[in-house]
C-alpha cells in the first residue's frame, strides 16, 4: 500500500525571499523545495513583517487572507490576529501571521546594534507566533506529521504540543523537530514572563524551560521536541561541550541520542556563477575567464582603483559582530595591505566595529572598501569578484558564504570550527584535493600565518586555478541534506 506523503509544517521567523537577517532565511527558502522534490508536502509559517507586506503584496499582489479575527491569548491579553497565504513556485504554500502591533516594524527582532537592543516585547511576539501555529492548523484543517521548528522564536511550539495539544486527537500523532541554527541566540527573558505562556507551572523548572530563574525559550524547544538537529556535524559535537554550549551543553548532552548535525545546503540555482543575474559576466568551472570581469565590476562598483586587478582581493560578508571575527580582520588588514592585498567588507551590525572600519577606510582609501548595509545584489558581486573569502568566525554553526565562495571559485580562508571545518578541505594538509585554508588556534597570529600562505599561493596561477576547480566541483546543494532530514522525519514518524 502506498504511504501518504510526509506532511511538514516549517515554523520559522524568517524565510527568503520574504525577510532575512541571516542563514536561517536561506535555509527556509531552500529546504522546502528540496523536500518537495523528495515527495514531501511542506508548508511554511512565519510572521507578516512590514517588508513582506510592502514588497510582496505590492509587487505580486498574490497574498490572500485566509482567516480573520482569530483570538490568541498571551498573558492577560487576547490578541486579534489574521492569517494570510501565498503560493511560491513550485507549489510551496507559505502562511503568515498578521499582527501589525508586533510585526509591522523596521526590524525583525530589534536594532542589529546590540547597544540599541532587541525589542522589549519579543517574548510576547513569539509566544503569539508559536500559539498561532495551532490556530493555523485548525483554520486550514491541515494537520501535518511533523512540526519542524527553527530557533528560539519557534521553540515554544514544542511545549504547547506536549502540554496543551497532544491530548487533542487532531494533534496526537504530530512529532516535533527543532533545528538550532545558532545556539548563541536562546530567547532568554525574565522568569516573571513565564505567566505570559499559560504553560503548566512544572514547565518552569530545571527539567523544563527554566534557566537560572529565567525563561529560556530555546531550552524548551530542546527539552520538549522529539528530535533536535543542528546545522553541521561538527557543531553538533561542539555544542555538547562547555566551550561552545552557551550554558546548554548539559541539556544538549542529555538529548545526545536525539541530537544530530545535518549540514545546510546552498541554493544551487540562486548561487550559480553561470547564471547569476547579479553578475555582469558569467563563468563556470569550464571557463573561469568571466571571473576577472566580475572583479573589475566589483572594484568599479566600490570605487576601488582598477590597478588592484592583479592584487589578491580579500572579502567578507556577514553580520558585523565579533562572532564573525571582524575584529581579527581589522587587525590583519594593515598587514594584508602591506603584502599587496586589498579588502572589501559587507556587513551590518555593531556600531563599534563599524567605527573601526570607518577609520581604516580613511587610512587606506585605495585598498579598502566597506558597505555597512544589507545588500543581496552586492553580496553576489563580492562572491564572484573576490579572490579570497575570509571567515575567521569564533564559532560558526554552519556558515553559508564559504560554500557560496567554493562555488564561485573564491578561495575561503576560515577558522576550523563548526560547519567551516566540515566544508573546507585544507590545502596545506591536502595539497592535491584542498579547497581552502584553515587556521586552528583562534587568534590573529595563526589567522595571519595562514592568510600569508594563501597570498603566496595566489602568485602561483596554475596551483591557484587547481584549488578553485577543486572547490567548484564540490556539491553542497540541498539534495543531500534534504535526504538526511527526510530520514529524521521518517524515524520520528515510525516511533510515534
Ligand atoms: P548567520 O546566519 O550566522 O548570519 P550564515 O553564513 O549562515 O550566517 O548566513 C548569512 C547569510 O546572510 C548569507 O547568505 C550571507 O550572504 C547573508 N548576509 C549576511 N550579511 C549580509 C549583508 N550585509 N548583505 C547581504 N547579505 C548578507
Interval 104-145: pLDDT, tens: 999 999 987 766 789 999 999 999 999 999 999 999 999 999
Q: Single out the residue of 177, 211, 178 nearest to residue 193, CA to CA.
A: 211
Nearest-CA residue for ligand 1 atom 19 is: 318
pLDDT tens string 307-328:
999 999 999 999 999 999 999 9
- Sheet of 437-439, strands arranged across: 368-371, 342-346, 313-317, 388-391, 411-415, 437-439
Residue with cell string 556563477: 273
Q: How confident is residue 177, by pLDDT bands cut at 50, 70 and 90? A: very high
Same-domain pairing of 45 and 23: yes
- Say whether both 386 and 489 belong to one domain: no
- 319 occurs within a structural domain: yes
Q: Nearest residue CA, atom 12 of ligand 1? A: 22
The verdict on 227 and 244 lying in the same domain is: yes
Whether residue 203 is found in the same domain as residue 328: no
What is the pLDDT, as a whole number, of residue 496?
76
Return the pLDDT at 91: 82
Cell numbers 581579527 correspond to what residue? Answer: 328
CATH number reported for the structural domain that contains residue 443 in this entry: 3.40.50.2000
24 CA from centroid of ligand 1 (Å): 9
| Closest atom of ligand 1 relative to the 399 alpha carbon | 6
Pocket test for ligand 1, best of 325, 401, 478 (most atoms within 8 A of CB): 401
Nearest atom within ligand 1 for CA of residue 181? 2
Following CA atoms 339, 341, 342, 344 in sequence, which dihedral angle do they give, to the nearest 10 degrees?
-110
For residue 470, CA distances in Å to 198, 384, 425 come to 54, 16, 9
Contacts of the segment 272-278: beta carbons below 8 A, 24+ positions apart: 272/407, 273/384, 273/407, 273/408, 273/409, 276/380, 276/384, 278/376, 278/377, 278/380, 278/381
Statement: residue 59 has pLDDT above 90 = no
| Grid coordinates given for 315 | 572579502
Question: φ, ψ for residue 455 (rounded to 5)?
Answer: -65, -35
Q: Judge whether residue 1 has pLDDT over 60.
A: no
> What's the domain range around 221?
7-265+479-495
Q: For residue 160, how far is its CA from the centre of ligand 1 (angstroms)?
A: 31
Q: Measured from the CA of 323, which atom of ligand 1 is nearest?
A: 3
Residue 173 lies in a domain: yes
Mutate which of 262, 317, 381 for ligand 1? The one with the most ligand atoms within 8 Å of its CB, which is: 317
What does each C-alpha distance from 74 to 99, 131, 199, 273 come to in angstroms? 13, 9, 11, 47
Do both 468 and 483 map to the same domain? no
Q: Does residue 44 sit in the same domain as residue 123?
A: yes
Same domain, 241 and 114: yes
Identify the residue whose C-alpha is closest to ligand 1 atom 24. 374
Point out the ligand 1 atom lying closest to the alpha carbon of residue 376.
Answer: 25
List b or e across 158-171, with b for residues whose CB sees 16 or more CB atoms inside 10 angstroms: bbbbbbebeeeeeb
Could you tell me if 180 and 210 lie in one domain? yes
Q: Residue with the nearest Cα to atom 8 of ligand 1?
A: 23
- The number of angstroms, rounded, from the C-alpha of 402 to the middle of its chain's C-alpha atoms is 13
Q: What pLDDT sits at residue 306?
A: 98
Q: Is residue 271 part of a domain?
A: no
- Asked if 485 and 31 touch (Cβ cutoff 8 Å), the reply is yes
| Residue of 19, 22, 371, 420 to mutate, ligand 1, most atoms within 8 A of C-beta | 22
pTM of the predicted model as reported, rounded to 2 decimal places: 0.92
Looking at the fold, whether 249 and 304 belong to one and the same domain comes out as no
Same domain as 254, residue 119: yes
**How many whole angstroms from 231 Cα to the centroid of ligand 1?**
15
Going by alpha carbons, the residue nearest to atom 6 of ligand 1 is 399
Centre of ligand 1 from the C-alpha of residue 320, in Å: 10
CB-count exposure of residue 248 (10 Å: 0-12, 13-18, 19+): buried
Q: What is the Cα–Cα distance from 262 to 328, expressed in whole angstroms?
A: 28
Question: Are 255 and 301 found together in one domain?
Answer: no
Within a domain: residue 188?
Answer: yes
Residue of 385, 384, 383, 387 whose CA lies nearest to 457: 387
Q: Which three cell numbers stand for residue 356?
A: 573601526
pLDDT in tens, 330-374: 999 999 999 999 999 999 989 999 999 999 999 999 999 999 999
Pocket probe for ligand 1: among 318, 410, 418, the residue whose CB has the most ligand atoms within 8 Å is: 318
Q: Is residue 278 part of a domain?
A: no
- For residue 60, what pLDDT is reported? 61
Instruction: State percent of the chain over pLDDT 90.
Output: 90
With a cut of 60, say whether residue 41 has pLDDT above it: yes
Looking at the domain assignment, is residue 333 inside a domain? yes
Residue 271 has pLDDT above 90, yes or no: yes
Cβ-proximal residues to 493 (8 Å cutoff; 6+ apart), any chain: 6, 145, 146, 175
Ligand 1: residues with CB < 6 A are 22-23, 26, 182, 317-319, 346-348, 374-376, 379, 398-401
**Total number of domains in the chain:** 2
CA–CA distance, 453 with 250 (Å, rounded to integer): 39
Residues 246, 358 share a domain: no
Q: Is the pLDDT of residue 61 over 80?
A: no
Distance 264 CA to ligand 1 centre (A): 13
Tell me how long the chain is. Answer: 496
Per-residue pLDDT at 220: 98
CA–CA separation, 319 and 335 (whole Å): 23
Q: Is residue 272 a part of any domain in this protein?
A: no
395 Cα to the center of ligand 1, angstroms: 15
Name the least confident of 1-15, 406-420, 476-490. Answer: 1-15
279 in any annotated domain: no
Amino acid at each position: 500500500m502506498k504511504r501518504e506523503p510526509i506532511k511538514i509544517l516549517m515554523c520559522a521567523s524568517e524565510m527568503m525571499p520574504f525577510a532575512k537577517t541571516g542563514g536561517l532565511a536561506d535555509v527556509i527558502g531552500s529546504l522546502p523545495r528540496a523536500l518537495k522534490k523528495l515527495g514531501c508536502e511542506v508548508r511554511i509559517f512565519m510572521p507578516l513583517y512590514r517588508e513582506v507586506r510592502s514588497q510582496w503584496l505590492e509587487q505580486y499582489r498574490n497574498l490572500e487572507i485566509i482567516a480573520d479575527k482569530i483570538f490568541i491569548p498571551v498573558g492577560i491579553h487576547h490578541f486579534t490576529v489574521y492569517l494570510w497565504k501565498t503560493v511560491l513556485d513550485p507549489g510551496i504554500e507559505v502562511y503568515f501571521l498578521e499582527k501589525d502591533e508586533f510585526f509591522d516594524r523596521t526590524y525583525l527582532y530589534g536594532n542589529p546594534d546590540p547597544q540599541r537592543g532587541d525589542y522589549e516585547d519579543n517574548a510576547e511576539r513569539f509566544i503569539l507566533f508559536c500559539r498561532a501555529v495551532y490556530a493555523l492548523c485548525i483554520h486550514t484543517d491541515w494537520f501535518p506529521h511533523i512540526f519542524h521548528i527553527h530557533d528560539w522564536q519557534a521553540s515554544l511550539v514544542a511545549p504547547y504540543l506536549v502540554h496543551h495539544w497532544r491530548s487533542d486527537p487532531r494533534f496526537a500523532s504530530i512529532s516535533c523537530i527543532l533545528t538550532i541554527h545558532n545556539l548563541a541566540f536562546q530567547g532568554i527573558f525574565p522568569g516573571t514572563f513565564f505567566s505570559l505562556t499559560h504553560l503548566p507551572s512544572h514547565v518552569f523548572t530545571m527539567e523544563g524551560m527554566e534557566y537560572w530563574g529565567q525563561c529560556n525559550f530555546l531550552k524548551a524547544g530542546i527539552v520538549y521536541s522529539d528530535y533536535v538537529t543542528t546545522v553541521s556535524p561538527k557543531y553538533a559535537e561542539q555544542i555538547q561541550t562547555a566551550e561552545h554550549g552557551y550554558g546548554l551543553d548539559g541539556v544538549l548532552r542529555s538529548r545526545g541520542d536525539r541530537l544530530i548535525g545535518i549540514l545546510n545546503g546552498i541554493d544551487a540555482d540562486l548561487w550559480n556563477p553561470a547564471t547569476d543575474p547579479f553578475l555582469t559576466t558569467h563563468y563556470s568551472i569550464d571557463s573561469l575567464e568571466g571571473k576577472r570581469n566580475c572583479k573589475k565590476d566589483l572594484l568599479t562598483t566600490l570605487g576601488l582603483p582598477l590597478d588592484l586587478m592583479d592584487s589578491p582581493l580579500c572579502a567578507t560578508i556577514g553580520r558585523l559582530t565579533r562572532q564573525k571575527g571582524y575584529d581579527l580582520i581589522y587587525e590583519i588588514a594593515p598587514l594584508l595591505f602591506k603584502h599587496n592585498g586589498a579588502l572589501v567588507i559587507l556587513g551590518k551590525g555593531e556600531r563599534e566595529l563599524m567605527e573601526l572600519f570607518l577609520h581604516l577606510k580613511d587610512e587606506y582609501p585605495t585598498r579598502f572598501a566597506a558597505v555597512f548595509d544589507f545588500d543581496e545584489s552586492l553580496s553576489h558581486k563580492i562572491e564572484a569578484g573576490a579572490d579570497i573569502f575570509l571567515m575567521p568566525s569564533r564559532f560558526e554553526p554552519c556558515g553559508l558564504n564559504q560554500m557560496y565562495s567554493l562555488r564561485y571559485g573564491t578561495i575561503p580562508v576560515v577558522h576550523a570550527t563548526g560547519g567551516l571545518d566540515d566544508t573546507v578541505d585544507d590545502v596545506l594538509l591536502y595539497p592535491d584535493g584542498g579547497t581552502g585554508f584553515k587556521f586552528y588556534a583562534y587568534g590573529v597570529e595563526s589567522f595571519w600565518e595562514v592568510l600569508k600562505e594563501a597570498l603566496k599561493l595566489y602568485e602561483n596561477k596554475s596551483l591557484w586555478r587547481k584549488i578553485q576547480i577543486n572547490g567548484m566541483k564540490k556539491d553542497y546543494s540541498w539534495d543531500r541534506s534534504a535526504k538526511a532530514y527526510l530520514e529524521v522525519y521518517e524515524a520520528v514518524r515510525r516511533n510515534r
